[in-house]
A and B are shown apart, each in its own frame.
Chain A
Amino acid sequence: MSTKDFDWKLVLRSGLLGGAIAILLSLIGIVTGFNETYIIYKVITFGELLVLGPILAFSFAALRRTSSSDSGVRFTTGALAGLTSGLVLLAFVGIGQVINLRAVFVNASPDLYAMLSYNQSLPIGMLLRLLVSGLVGLIVAGFTLLPTRLKQALGQGLIYVILIGLMGRLIGTVMTNWGFVSLLFEWMFASSGMSFLGAIVLFLLVGGLAYWRAGRPKVKPRLEPKKQQTVRWATLAGVGLVLIFLPNILGLWFSEILDNVGLFILMGLGLNIVVGFAGLLDLGYVAFYAIGAYTIGVLTSPELGFFNLTFWQAFPFALIVALIAGVLLGLPILKMRGDYLAIVTLGFGEIIRLLALSDWLKPWLGGTQGIQRIERPVIGLGNFTIELISQQQLYYLILAGIILVAFIAFRLRDSRLGRTWMALREDEDVAVAMGINHVATKLTAFAMGALFSGIGGTIFAAKIGSIYPSSFQFLVSINILSLIIVGGIGSIPGVFVGALALMGLPELLREFAEYRYLFYGAALVAMMLYKPEGLWPEARLKLELHEDEIPPPGDPVPSTEGS
């Protein structure tokens, strides 16, 4: 081992940062907050993981920057980085004994110190803490020395155990719907987190699978076209079956989440046409959602008693009204671009909400009291009819809406109209010079966006049964825009992924109680930093060559140069 390879500064910096982050998490209160939440029952708590996590992450970062492959250098680097973090924690506890930190940091409680010193007497406990920290660094160093295949297997196994351990309670609620099947999995979980045996089995299972998959050849043999077709249909059928039975598999609570995510997917698909395809930044998109919902409300509610239509009678009117609203908003802003467009659409969204809230329109729209007793959709023929009321029933209505809208969105994207929208987004002047009529093109985009959002609004109204102006806040527009950005602007699958991540994830994070939005925010920031193009970026259709004509990847393709 040569001292030249060993980077003192790196080790010190990583160790200090790891320790500092661990202290930060402790002072926020998460560490003590989750000291009873086990990941593996009686083995490790989530709180402990939050202390060890940063130490592990930063010793790993230090080792990644260490170019030397000498095991001595690596073990020393890892161990010292871990020990440094441990020393930082030691110093923190030490200071806490002398100065009352609690006056400033509410969470610097005796509980925290006890937890950090493993409920032992202070000297012994802190020595233990120091040793564990060093050990973590040492293990990480050992991990980096392993062959890639093994690293992948171990890493994946670990991640799965942690995730499943955290989600233990959620999985429990889902499993109660499974009847006797749940007995099969019951031994895997304890009253909190996974059971020790369950964790080991899961780790071996996931790790083994990852190890096996990493060993397989990368290039899959190409199937004959006929077999490919069969595989595609089989996959589609499988996905269809899962989608049909999803509410039964997941139960009531998850169905409610699914419904909400579904409504956001509907709206996301619409806004994706306006913002993603045509490049028109619309910040008032919630207006069309409100217009769809209110039209259904006014037309069906017996409380207002104007029309007393059924849901399906009112449905086409709602769509037409939303469509017209889209065109009407489009007209005055045809010449606007970028920021100006955003401000005007934002204003439009607020105007619609304030109109619904106003005393002036109260006799028609109900003002703050909103509209109650909106008709539920009824399906079926003759004597055999079902009123869609429960979340699990409405799920199918939303699913049907999504399938229809996604189908239209895909077709629009791959058409002349879709190309026209994109050309307008890329360079409006040139697009116009190519003979594109920007008035018709923009209005069509707004109209389609409004239509899709209107569909979402009608279903929302039917689902809730009563609507209030407060359901249509500006924040909804922002949420839809965010889910498009997170998923990947202009990407249709991205809307699904984005909606699941943005609307579904916070619900799953309920385990984290009051820290839910902290984790959520951190996840969003991390995502935008490491994957700014979105979770599922848009891919353009291959039009010149068919799949089998694409040149092999070895073919040198020149990179971008010049302007």
Chain B
Amino acid sequence: MENVLVSNKVTKRFGGLEALGRVEIEVRKGAIQSIIGPNGAGKTTFFNCVTGFYTPEEGEILLNGRNITGLSPDRVTRLGVARTYQNIRLFKNMTAVENILVGMHPHLKSWLFGAIFRDPRTMREEQTALAEARRMLEFVGLKGRGDMLATNLPYGEQRRLEIARALASRPHLLLLDEPTAGMNPSETQEMVHFIRRLRDELGITILIIEHQMRVVMSISEKITVLDFGQKISEGTPAEIQKDERVIEAYLGRGAASGLGEARAQG
């Protein structure tokens, strides 16, 4: 099967610290995959390298076979990668619809002239964009919330709005940075269900950073484990759960019992 994303020996250093060391991750088309690891393992750094926020010192990142290493974030977005952030970063003082419209930015064209004169082409473009934004709102379950300022939405809805904004750029690959952080069990369950819908209904490949083992184990087809910037294990949830090295050396005792629970449930 073809790979949407391939990272080839990606290394990122901050001063003397090696945040990522020759990391190799392959994301298959249409998959839901996860990256796990303790705090400071380099997970978000990896996301930042993929999306163009950081330029890795060594190695290369291929998107659909095309080298995107070192491209600026706006270029990467236009090539079909979208992301959400660990601590929600919405445009707080804009409405939900406006947030989504900003997400559509690469697909719209009007600029100064269109803004002032409102020529028919601009008006059509805006109408289409607005209709699409409304559909997007409905898809993520925020119908009727579109005119609220993002900052006034409850936490769970802000998470979903952020995903809607990412979807608005029509990505092939969606990077979700801890999508269930700060959620209670029922909200988490809803989010897991929602992520599956993204893949099944929109056909988007999804790469997730996640801390909640229950979520990771139930949703992922493949899991990559990072620790101190090194890939220490990779495989299906079942393989990761059995991997003594992951459990002992990295996940620790508490998490290991959590795994037991997940296993009992699964």
Contact = CB atoms under 8 A, between A and B. Distances in A.
Nearest to A550: B147
Nearest to A562: B155
B114 A444 contact: no
A550 B145 CA distance: 10
A426 B94 contact: yes
Contacts of B83: 433
Contacts of A415: 110, 114-115, 122, 126
Given A544-B137, A560-B152, A411 B116 contact: yes
A417 B94 contact: no
Interface string B165-188: 100010000000000001000000
Contacts of B122: 415
A241 interface: no
Contacts of B182: 562-563
Interface in B190-244: none
A431 B99 CA distance: 10
A361 B130 CA distance: 53
Given A433-B73, A558-B154, A540 B114 contact: no
Interface in A363-419: 408, 411-412, 415-419
Interface string A419-453: 11011001101111111110000001000100000
Contact of B154 (A419, A437, A562): A562
Nearest to B103: A434
Chain A, interface size category, equals: 35 or more
A191 interface: no
A544 B134 contact: yes
B146 A435 contact: no
A563 B72 CA distance: 29
A138 B111 CA distance: 64
B85 interface: yes
A99 interface: no
Interface string A27-52: 00000000000000000000000000
Nearest to B77: A435
A437 B74 CA distance: 7
Nearest to B101: A419
B110 A543 contact: no
A128 B24 CA distance: 91
Given A430-B89, A544-B137, A418 B115 contact: yes
Contacts of B147: 540, 542-545, 550
Contacts of B85: 430
B255 interface: no
A543 B78 CA distance: 25
Best-buried of A433, A540, A551, A560 by chain B (most CB within 10 Å): A433
B137 A434 contact: no
Interface string A97-134: 00000000000000000000000000000000000000
Contact of A419 (B94, B96, B134, B146): B94
A411 B118 contact: yes
A522 interface: no
Contacts of A339: none
A433 B151 contact: no
Contacts of A448: 112
A417 B101 CA distance: 11
A557 interface: yes
A408 B115 CA distance: 8
B144 interface: yes
B105 interface: yes
Contacts of A548: none
Contacts of B169: 434-435
A557 B147 CA distance: 12
B105 A420 contact: yes
B53 A430 contact: no
A451 to B, nearest CB: 11
A224 interface: no
A192 B125 CA distance: 63
B154 A433 contact: no
A541 B94 CA distance: 9
Contacts of A559: 152, 154
A430 B153 CA distance: 19
A460 B39 CA distance: 60
Contacts of B134: 544
A436 B168 CA distance: 14
B207 to A, nearest CB: 16
Nearest to A542: B147
Given A426-B94, A543-B95, A545-B146, A431 B115 contact: no
A435 B106 contact: yes
Contact of A543 (B87, B146, B158): B146
Given A422-B91, A433-B53, A544 B152 contact: no
Contacts of A411: 115-116, 118
Given A563-B87, A563-B88, A434 B105 contact: yes
A561 B157 CA distance: 11
A446 to B, nearest CB: 13
A435 B72 CA distance: 9
Interface string B30-73: 00000000000000000000011100000000000000000011
Contacts of A542: 95, 147
6 contacts: A415-B122, A435-B77, A437-B74, A544-B137, A563-B87, A563-B182
Closest 3 CB pairs of A and B: A544-B146, A562-B155, A415-B115
Given A434-B169, A561-B155, 16 more contacts: A411-B116, A411-B118, A415-B114, A416-B101, A416-B110, A416-B111, A422-B91, A422-B94, A423-B102, A431-B102, A433-B73, A434-B165, A448-B112, A545-B146, A561-B154, A562-B154
